[in-house]
Amino acid sequence: MTGVQTVEQLRTVLKEKFYDVMIFKPNQSFEGFISNISNQLKEIMGVKLSKIYLLNESTQHYQLFSTQSDYPVKKVAYTAQEFEKLIQENGTDYPNGDDLFFKPVSCTSTVLIPLHMEKENDGFILFLLDEETPYHHSFFNETVEQTSKIIQKMNEYFQSINEETKYERLYQVTSKFYSTMNIEDVLREVIRTLKDLYTKLDFHLLLTQDNLQIEDLPINELPYDKHEKDAGTTAFLTGQIQFEDMSDHISSLYAPLVGRQGTYGVLQVLKPKHLFFQENDIEFISILAKTAGNALENAQLHQQSRRHITDLQLINQSSQTLNSKQTLSDTFSYLEDLMMSTFKAEEVGFILYDEKQQDWNKYRVLNESTSFFFTEEGEWFLSFLNKKIEQKVYTIFIGDFNNNDADMDIPYKSVMAVPMIHDEKVIGLVMVLHPNEYFFSFETYKLLQSLVQHSALTVVNYRLKEELEQLVRTDYLTKLYSRNYLDKMMNKHLEVGKQGTFLLIDIDNFKQINDEYGHDVGDEIICQVAEIIRANIRSHDVAARWGGEELAIYLPNTTMVLGQHVAERLVKTVSEKTQPKVTISCGVSYWGEKFHGKSKSLFLRADQALYIAKKQGKNRVVKQTEIII
């Protein structure tokens, strides 16, 4: 010991040296102050090594604050349990029972002295002694008493200074938070404030995927879907601060960004274990995180309200546009353009199911879908989604499809699929894809649901319109076209075509059939003849019910000779395949390049030919030889 003979002398020297540390190093931090005190103790006590450990109540670890470079540190922190075990296994009491000593090995002694500040065992001083130098326990008692006093006073001083600075900054930050409704501004201010106040710490924001697209900020995705929840996830789920040892040298604090309605992320604070975290630091970070949580909530609610207004405007505009579309193709072409631009999608697909039977394997991929849906991968993908729909899984929102236990990988990770539902029946499916994982937010998915819901109504209305038009242009009994439709199609072709043949057919002795078998059988005979006609004409030919037992066929781009062959085949087939057996008579008219009339002229010529066929004995074909060629 350096010239100190009595406890009184030691007390004086300690006070003088401690005072020098306070006066001549005014800008030091609390950690620096404790390190300087430790150096002074080494010099005053004449020991080989002096270490000071203080209790961090938040982590319940005794944290090392000081060491000398000629003796490397083997352990920078002890848990309270480790400290108690250390005392129990190695300790020997001095006469007053206050000071604890133990000897590991070699010719030196290690002295472990508890510090008593606000309560017992707030920390401890560890000295490495030379056994040849005599030490009295009263010197250690005086050392720990004076050291405890100065540490407690300086801790209170630094806390008051820090609190004044921090809460002044917190006031400034709060003012900025409530002057902005921008999420990015709030997050940037949180990180800026913490970096200004805690220059030796690192900070990260753990956020859900909705807010991951902000550049130049230390943002990581919050792993809330892990099977084993870590401290960050626990902080997010519980709304409580959590601590975690990341390694032997780094520890982490997780402060949830909590608002009034929920938790919006987690602030992660990384610090070297040798840095001390006081209770007021933790309290400040917690308050800042909660303030930021409330500001984030306000900003999100503001942005959501603006987004909802924009979405409603989009839905209203798209509904008006959809209602103005004349064809199903126009409807889905518009939807494809809308979804590509609104959702920044790479692929958009549409399928419609068979409306008469809910068979999920019977669907039609619309031509307005993008190319992926017509590939082998696209076919497999549609099969995958159809199985989901069959299982009544109507919410298909996937952030990483290739991590979805699927049998095949596809080049698209973000998947949104929404069924078109009407009267509790699935009538179709709309799919939106992007190659990046977690590209779409859930807000985006909800917008897609609204758009699909409105488009489903448009599809249903279009189908109803088609059905009505079909009823108008189709005969209810035979399902052949109506006379008006035939007339319309003939006049169209007369304007653009070069030739055509018209057949007018009458069922022979039809009144006799009705009288003998009844009107139901008469209707059945008409349907049989209509079916024979359908089976003997081409897809672009137009067959219609002319009226009563009369039927008609227009054969576009067909010569008189070919038209006559068709008529003769029909006369022969009807006489062979109807039950009860009936025959038909047929009149044929024709127009060519020199014809300048309307369809009515062809009708009259065919009617004249039919009249001749009837007069000549029925069950035959007569062509009108007076047609202008």
DSSP letter for each residue of 78-104: EEHHHHHHHHHHH-EE-TTS--EEE--
Handedness of CA 571, 575, 578, 580 (dihedral sign): positive
Q: Which amino acid, one-letter code, is at 300?
A: Q
244 is catalytic: no
Handedness of CA 360, 364, 369, 374 (dihedral sign): positive
Q: Could you tell me the end-to-end alpha-carbon distance of the chain, in angstroms, rounded to an integer?
A: 136
Residue 316's CB: how many other CB atoms inside 10 A? 11
Burial 177-201 (b: 16+ CB within 10 A, else e): beebbebeebbbbbbebbeebbeeb
| Given 163, 549, 576, 593, the catalytic residue | 549
CB-based contact 525:513 (threshold 8 Å): yes
How far is residue 514 CA from its own chain's centroid?
67
* Farthest CA pair distance, the chain: 153
Q: Which residues pair with 51 in a beta bridge?
A: 126
Q: What are phi and psi of 131, to 5 degrees?
A: -65, -20
Joined together, the tokens standing for residue 268 give 């992660």
Nearest to 533 by CA among 499, 501, 571: 571
CB-based contact 276:65 (threshold 8 Å): yes
Sequence-ordered strand ranges (E) for 57-196? 61-64, 77-79, 92-93, 100-102, 108-115, 123-130
Q: Which residues are catalytic?
A: 549
